[in-house]
Structure 1
Amino acid sequence: MLIAAVLLMAGLAGCSGNVRPPILPDYSDADLEAQTAADNQRALDDLLGDFPDADVPEVDQVRLVTLEEWPFAMAECLSAQGFLATAVDGGLSAGAPTGQEMPYAIAYYVCSVEYPINPRQMVPLVDDQIRYLYDYYTQVMTPCLEAEGYQVPDPPSLQTFMSSYGQPGSWAPYTLVAEAVSSQEEWDRINRLCTQTPAELYGG
C-alpha cells in the first residue's frame, strides 16, 4: 500500500526569504511527550484490536523523525525485520505478504514506536502557522517550482486558504508537480530543491 504519497505540510529549510516566521503554539515538552505516548497507545490498541493474540514486544524509542524522514526510517526498519518496504514519492510503499499479516502488523507497530514523527508536526497548526505557510507557498515555493518548469495552480486568497487548509482539495503548490514528475529521481531532486516543509513552521 502507498501511504502519504504527498506530504501536505512542506518548505525550503533555511531559505524562506523575507517571510515572517510564525508565532508558534506554546507546547511544553511534557505536552509533546504525552502526545507521542497517546499515539503509541492508539497504535497498540489498533494492533491488538486486529490481532488479539499478538505477542507484542516492549519497544523503546530510537529517535523522533520529521514528516520527510518518516518514510525512509520506516522503510529501513521494516526491511531490517524482513519485510519489503521502500520510500516512494514522499510516502511509504509496504505491505504484508500473504499469511504474514500479524507479523507484519507487529513489525509496523515496532517501527512506528521506534521512529515516531515529531509531535510538533502532528498537532493541528494554529492560524499564524497557516498564514506563514501561505506566504511561504506563494513567495518562496511557487517561484522555485516555476523556475524549474513546473506549473503551479493560481493561489486563492489568504482568507480562503486559511478556511480550507487541511481539507480535501485545498490549494498547495505541489498539486500538479506530483502528476508531472517523470521519475523517482526527479521527484527527489525537486523536493530537495523546493522542499515542502520550512523548518520555521515548527520553530526549527
Structure 2
Amino acid sequence: MRRLMPLLATLLLLVGCAAGPAGSPKSERDLVLEQLGPMPTGEPLSDEEELGETTRVIELYWQSVVADFPDAVRPEVDIVEAVDASEREVPLADCLKNHGVVVPADQSAESWYPATEPEALAWFTCQASYPPRPNPPITDDQLGYLYDYLTLFVAPCLNKHGSNVPKPPSREDFITEWPNQMWYPEPTNVHGDDPKYAGILDACPLRPDGR
C-alpha cells in the first residue's frame, strides 16, 4: 500500500526561541539558539500562490488514491479550510468519523491510510477539505540557519544518544542542493516504533522550533 508522505512537513521552520524559567541553567540547545538568533523570515505567499500550492497538494492526494485504486471515481470536494499542519488532527478526525471511518486507537487521523476504496474516497475527501496551509518556499538564509542548528546541536546531540550521524555536507552544498542534499540527521540506533525514539527526539528536537 502506497502512502502519501507529507514531505513538505519538514519545511515548517517558523521559529520562536523560548527562554527557560528565570534563573534556570540554559541547556545546550538554548545556548545554540541564543547564538543563532532569530530565524530569518521569508516573503509570504500571495493568495494566488497559496491556492496554486494547495491545489497541487490536493492533486497529489488523489494520485495516491488512484495508485491503489485505479478505477476510483474522484469525488467533488470543496476546500473547507486550509489548516496549519500542526492543527489538522482534529478536523481530519472529525471528518473521517463523519464519513464512517474508524481510525484505530493507536493511530492519528493524519497518519492513518485507507485499506479499501470506500475508505480511500473518504480519506481523499477529508484531506482535500482540510489541506495543509502551504508555507512560503524556504530561503537560502533559512536553510543556512537550519544547517547551523543541525550541525551545532542536533547531530552532536544524537551522537551523544547513541546514533552515528554521517558527516554533513558543506554549508554551501546543503543550501544549493536542498532538498536533495542527501543529509539530515536523524536517530540511527532506534526505529520510530521503539519507545526510546520519542525520548531521543524530546532531547534532540530535529527542528529549531522544537518539534
| 2:191 corresponding residue in structure 1 | 181
TM-score normalised to structure 2 length: 0.64
Structure whose alpha-carbon radius of gyration is higher? 2
Structure 1 or 2: more strand by fraction: 1
Contact 2:58-2:128 at 8 Å conserved across structures: no
- 2:164, 2:188 → 1: CA distance? 11
Aligned position for 1:199: 209
Measured in 2, the distance between the counterparts of 1:10 and 1:45 equals 23
Matched, 1:63 2:83: yes
Indicate the residue corresponding to 1:113 in structure 2: 128
Deviation at 1:136? Answer: 0.8
SS at the partner of 2:36? coil
Kindly tell me: are residues 56 and 162 of structure 1, through their superposed partners in 2, closer, same or farther at Cα, counting changes over 3 Å?
same
Cα distance in 1 for partners of 2:53, 2:12 equals: 21
CA distance, structure 2, for counterparts of residue 146 and residue 189 of structure 1: 14
* Counterparts of residues 107-186 of structure 1 (less than 5 Å): 107-120=122-135, 123-167=136-180, 170-174=182-186, 177-178=187-188, 180-181=190-191, 183-186=193-196
1:60-99 alignment runs, 5 A limit: 60-61=80-81, 63-66=83-86, 76=93, 80=97, 81-82=100-101, 84=103, 86-87=107-108, 92-97=111-116
Relative to structure 1, the CA distance from residue 186 to residue 79 in structure 2 (aligned partners, 3 Å threshold; closer, same or farther) is farther
Q: Secondary structure at the match of 1:163?
A: helix
Which string of whole-angstrom CA distances, capped at 9 and with x for unpartnered residues, describes residues 5-29 of structure 1? 9864478963534224343221146
Structure 1 contact 59–113 (Cα < 8 Å) conserved: yes
Percent of aligned positions that are identical: 21
**Alpha-carbon contact 2:79-2:129 (below 8 Å) kept:** yes
The 10-residue stretch of structure 1 (76-85 or 5-14) with the greater mean CA deviation from structure 2: 5-14
Unaligned runs of 5+ in 1: none
Q: Deviations over 1:68-93 (max 9, x none)?
A: x66x5697457634255635xxx835
8 Å Cα contact 2:82/2:133 also seen in 1: no
| Cα distance change, pair 110–171 in 1 and its aligned pair in 2 (3 A) | same
Aligned to 2:22: none
The verdict on how the C-alpha distance between 1:76 and 1:17 changes in structure 2, with shifts beyond 3 A counting, is: farther
CA contact (8 A) 2:40 2:145 kept: no
| 1:94 aligned counterpart, secondary structure | coil
* 2:40/2:142 contact within 8 Å kept: yes
| Structure 1 residues 70-119: Cα deviation after superposition (integer angstroms, max 9, x where no partner) | 6x5697457634255635xxx8352323xxx1x23322222213442231
Name the CA distance, whole Å, in 2 between partners of 1:43 and 1:31: 19
SS of 1:23's equivalent? coil
Determine the C-alpha separation between the residues in 2 that align with 1:154 and 1:75.
39
